[in-house]
Amino acid sequence: MKIQCRYILSVAGFLGITNVYFSRINLSMAIVEMMGSKSSSNGSTTLSECPVFGSNSSQEEEERQGEFDWDQNQRGLLLGSYYYGYTAMQVPAAWVAAKYGFKRSFGYCMLIASLLTCIFPQLVRLNLYLGIVSRVLLGMFHSISFPCMTGAWGSWAPPLERTRLNGITVSGASAGTCIIFFLAGSIISWLGWESIFYLTGGLSLLWVVGWFYFVYDTPEQHPRIDPEERDYIIKQIGSHGLRSESRTPWRAILTSAPVWGIVLGHTASNWGNYTLNQQLPTYLTDILRMDLQLTGLLSSLCYVLQWIVCVVASWITDWIRSKGFISTIWIRKINTIIGLWVTGLCVVLAGYAGCNVPVAILLFLLTAGLNTFTVPGCKSAMLDMAPAYSGIVFGVSNTVANIPGFVAPQLVGLILKDSTIPEWRTVFWVSCAVHVVGSLLFLIKGSDQLQDWAKHQDLPEKIEKEKS
């Protein structure tokens, strides 16, 4: 049985997003070793509210010497610097992908990003701000990834497969996070913190080679696609999945309440997810007193669950839609409530679990895993509302949604004066509040209907024919 090209594209996109997250998250693990553990403002070393995990001793852990003597604000600036570039370039990246095709746009940007990842250790050793600049540039070139893949489904995904295909691709974020957390601790312990940047940069270069061989912008351009699959995709998508020659309706997009419902839900989801993947290794190491290898293993389990939930929830959502049990918008709203309200509750409870490691880990697992219910929830709604402009809408959404990438670590740095459990509870309460508030507009104004501004004004007769 021949593998369908649209699923090859989804797997290629999955691996691309996985590599994006390898290079995005590697610093969250490496920085624990780069900085070591230092004295807090009250004169102690690692705080002794919790005993060292696996020991009954409540003695303070000896200070670990790191290579870099940065304070919490500098640490937060370095961790968040990636998101300055990533956020700023979302809309331009979506425009580039639409203009030049997602194949070349994603492929060439990943080539440059791979090289930036490989040279990061040399740059940050020369100067902290050279390291920050390289991470800003890395974020800029990675910004093309999600707009490219979201826009790709406007040409490749039949309507009742959109959530499924998009879910496979987007699950690369969870896969990349869980794999890097699982492996990074051991790799850094054996080979030094620099090695994780060389490894992730090299893997991205390998992916680029495969991407250019297997992927094409449209079914019509693909030289190896089965004619039956090509004709099926073209027939199912029709004119709504193809970009019109008319200009992008920016004003209508930017004043659409359903679009802003997607944007705010996406932003809330990212706030919680970025806070977790940037700060969880530090919480497990400094508060629950785990070593780096165990921290990596337990952090990775959160994202194994997230990966599984993303794929399974996306398939179940499309199955429910195909059976007509409930409307598309209602299943998307239910998914959004699970992904934001339930996870907000779980992360707050994790803070109140204190030194009870099994309970805290279970709650962190649920927080990370259930967050990806937003993928078949609010994060896929642009595929219903505006398939022809899904990449552009996603670019707008991802611009706002990645502001938490640099705001959240700076805010955490301000809250964590001594890295105590009460301070961490404040961090988690903020995350919960953002989740709930950010979901409200989508729950009230979210839509699954093709928007008037997303219809091809130059093809009215064909549209009317398709409706009938």
Query: Taking 70 as the threshold, does the pLDDT of residue 65 lie above it?
Result: no
pLDDT of residue 395: 81
- 1: confidence class by pLDDT, cuts 50, 70, 90: low
Q: Among 155, 23, 54, 138, which residue's Cα sits nearest to residue 97? A: 155
Pick 208 or 32 by higher pLDDT.
208
Picking from 174-188, 342-356, 434-448, which range would have the lowest pLDDT averaged per residue? 174-188
Q: Do residues 162 and 383 touch, judged by C-beta distance below 8 A?
A: yes
Q: Distance between CA 360 and CA 109 in Å, rounded?
A: 39
Query: Taking 90 as the threshold, does the pLDDT of residue 6 lie above it?
Result: yes
Q: Distance between CA 295 and CA 277 in Å, rounded?
A: 12
Name the token pair of 252.
Answer: 């209508």
Pick 247 or 332 by higher pLDDT.
332
pLDDT digit string (tens) for 320-330?
988 889 999 99
pLDDT of residue 467: 36
pTM for this entry: 0.73
Query: Taking 80 as the threshold, does the pLDDT of residue 368 lie above it?
Result: yes
pLDDT digit string (tens) for 392-437?
888 889 889 988 988 888 898 889 888 889 999 999 999 999 999 9
Pick 239 or 296 by higher pLDDT.
296
**Chain CA centroid to CA 465, Å:** 39
Token pair 């093809």 in the structure block, residue: 459
Token pair 């610097």 in the structure block, residue: 81
Q: What would the DSSP string read from start to end of 263-315? A: HHHHHHHHHHHHHHHHHHHHHHHHTS---HHHHHHHHHHHHHHHHHHHHHHHH
pLDDT digit string (tens) for 106-157?
999 999 999 999 999 999 999 999 999 999 999 999 999 988 898 888 889 8
pLDDT of residue 93: 87
Q: Distance between CA 278 and CA 82 in Å, rounded?
A: 12
Q: Distance between CA 42 and CA 315 in Å, rounded?
A: 51
